[in-house]
Amino acid sequence: MTAFNFLSHGTLDLYPTFLQVQHGFLNELSPEQVRGTFPGLAYQLGNLIASGNAVLQAQIASTRGGNYGLALALVAGSVAILLAILTSLGTEARGTAMHAPHPTVPTS
């Protein structure tokens, strides 16, 4: 079942099943000042970038004799390499407090 979930939903089910510990979500990796808006912004920017994917793959396939398998492999391989590079450049923020300390209210 884990393999099916991985193939149909991505790595969402891989972490709790194989690693037994989740290592953080985008909220935990975001700077504290933008923690509320950054995950949504990243999601929508991903949609914006992915919106041209079908056109890109069609153009690649048309120049390669209609080979859509090659076009998909080139795009997926390029994305995998880019994600590996970006991941290696990132910092880990495990154990970061998810809330700001409450301000003290002065009493008169």
Question: For the chain, how far is it from start to end, CA to CA, in angstroms?
Answer: 62
Q: Is residue 13 part of a domain?
A: yes
The domain tally of the chain equals 2
Q: Is residue 10 part of a domain?
A: yes
**Sign of the alpha-carbon dihedral angle for 30, 35, 36, 41:** negative
Residue 65 Rama label (left phi>0; alpha psi -120 to 50; beta): left
36 or 80: which leads in pLDDT: 80
Together in a domain, 26 and 63: no
Q: Is residue 8 part of a domain?
A: yes
Q: Is residue 100 part of a domain?
A: no
Structure confidence at residue 94 (pLDDT): 67
Is the model's pLDDT at 78 over the cut of 80? Answer: yes
Together in a domain, 9 and 38: yes
Q: Among 97, 90, 103, 75, which residue's Cα sits nearest to residue 28?
A: 97
Together in a domain, 39 and 82: no
Q: Is residue 72 part of a domain?
A: yes
Together in a domain, 8 and 29: yes
- pTM beyond 0.85: no
Q: What is the mean pLDDT of the chain?
A: 76
Together in a domain, 6 and 35: yes
Residue with tokens 């793959």: 57
Q: Identify the domain containing residue 59 by its residue range.
A: 52-93
Model confidence at 69, pLDDT cuts 50, 70, 90, reads very high
Together in a domain, 7 and 47: yes
